[in-house]
Amino acid sequence: MSVSTQTTASSAAKTFAPAKVARVCVMGLGYVGLPTALLYAQQGLEVQGVDINPQRLEALKSGHLPEGFAEYQDWWQALKTTMSANQPIFEVGDTPAPADAFIIAVPTPFDDTTKHCELSAVESAVRAILPVLAEGNLVVLESTVPPGTTRRHILPLIESTGLVVGESVFLCFCPERVLPGNTQAEMINNDRLVGGVTTTCARLGHQLLSRVVVGGDVFMTDDATAEFCKLAENTYRDVNIAFANQLGLICEAVGADFERVRGFVNKSPGRNVLWAGAGVGGHCIPKDPWLLVHGVPGVDTGLIAAARTLNESMPLHVARLVEQALDEVNIGMHSARLLVLGYSYLEDSDDTRNSPSQSLIEHLKDWGAEVVVHDPWVPDYAVDLWKRAEGAHAAIVMVAHAEYRDLDLARLRGCLRAPVLVDGRQVVDAAAARAAGFVFRGLGRA
């Protein structure tokens, strides 16, 4: 495992020996915190997981994973087989106990109106560990936060105890890396970045993180750089998606086909246009660009804001495509029954956080339509596709699930009351759809 660092100053840790870290406390047992806790426990560390959700704690105490965490079942079962009643490796509770290292992995809720994130959960988690924080401890913040949070918000709270960050206690920011459906591989094999308030903080954070990142490299830097890198990664993705979406909208206007345009452009060296789509979901990308826009006063971040606004508008654009197609068969939106195919935000995943389908459905219902949903991955909507399609006036593909990439178009046409098909993810062959008798509309399609 290679190590890279951008910092040069050095100082010796006074009391903390990373090789002797035996107990880790993970604050927050959500999508990031729970797999983090399980991963450290698997490596033989004693782990306490802390959460304020009583249902989540009760499930874990009774030997079960909470709802929504099925992908960690193999980790959970393996961990349970190694634990004994007399020497538990993993325990949970609502109050932190003394530990060698504390990992903060709580949510930073995003206000969709103000476009700001709320740091109260992070600050509460830090305050909760202060009574048990001891000399030599390491505190690692993994929650995604605006630039400067570690140094401006977390450091003063820790030093209110009389401990001095960088001398008697150590503080890092380590961006989380979680992709629903592939979290285990990502956490073990992806390169990770740890930013320390001091070089010693970074080194101690690196040594702790290296206990679990066995297939990737752990790089060291300062806290400000690490905070910014996390936001820059997701903003880069968002801006590139927005560019693809802009091209898709232009293709519709000029009569070009986005799939062909993309294919030809990407034949040029150094070009990699992404796929246009019906919106961007998930926990990170819809939020993180706004943390940059509002987190760096005095800097013109208009490009980032424009990209985010465009991506947020895509479900509305799909709704307009539906309206246009219904008009062609003389059906008003107020009398239409519409089938939305896909409710998760990511293909072949059950994660529905900030799904573009949610926004689309709101628009369609606001315009008077009745909406039914199918999604083979989301339990509430994992019903028989063909029964759900019966009587609908239109089908709208919103997620590129494998099941929708190979739709039986003739059978779908036979189930629908009207021959309308709208593709928001470019998974339907337009010529085949029209040959099957559909009035077809697609994002970026001529």
Tell me the one-letter amino acid at 301. Answer: T
d(CA 50, CA 338): 43
403 phi and psi angles, rounded to 5 deg:
-60, -30
Decide if 25 contacts 208 (C-beta within 8 A).
Answer: no
Parallel, antiparallel, or unpaired: how do β-strands 110-111 and 116-117 relate? antiparallel
d(CA 106, CA 234): 19
**Residue that the structure tokens 């983090």 belong to:** 36
d(CA 137, CA 139): 7
How far is CA 353 from its chain centroid? 8
Angle at 149 between CA 147 and CA 155, to 5 degrees: 145
Question: Is-catalytic flag, 172?
Answer: no
Question: Considering 117, 230, 251, 287, which one is annotated as catalytic?
Answer: 230
Where helices occur in 8-47 by DSSP H, the ranges are: 33-42
d(CA 423, CA 443): 6
Would you state the torsion angle of the CA atoms of residues 25, 30, 34, 35, taken in this order, to the nearest 10 degrees? -130
d(CA 331, CA 306): 34
Question: Is-catalytic flag, 284?
Answer: yes
Question: Considering 172, 201, 284, 287, which one is annotated as catalytic?
Answer: 284
d(CA 286, CA 309): 10
Give the list of residues 6+ apart from residue 324 with CB closer than 8 angstroms, or none: 441
How many Cβ atoms sit within 10 Å of the Cβ of residue 131? 10
d(CA 331, CA 57): 50
Supply the residues annotated as catalytic: 230, 284
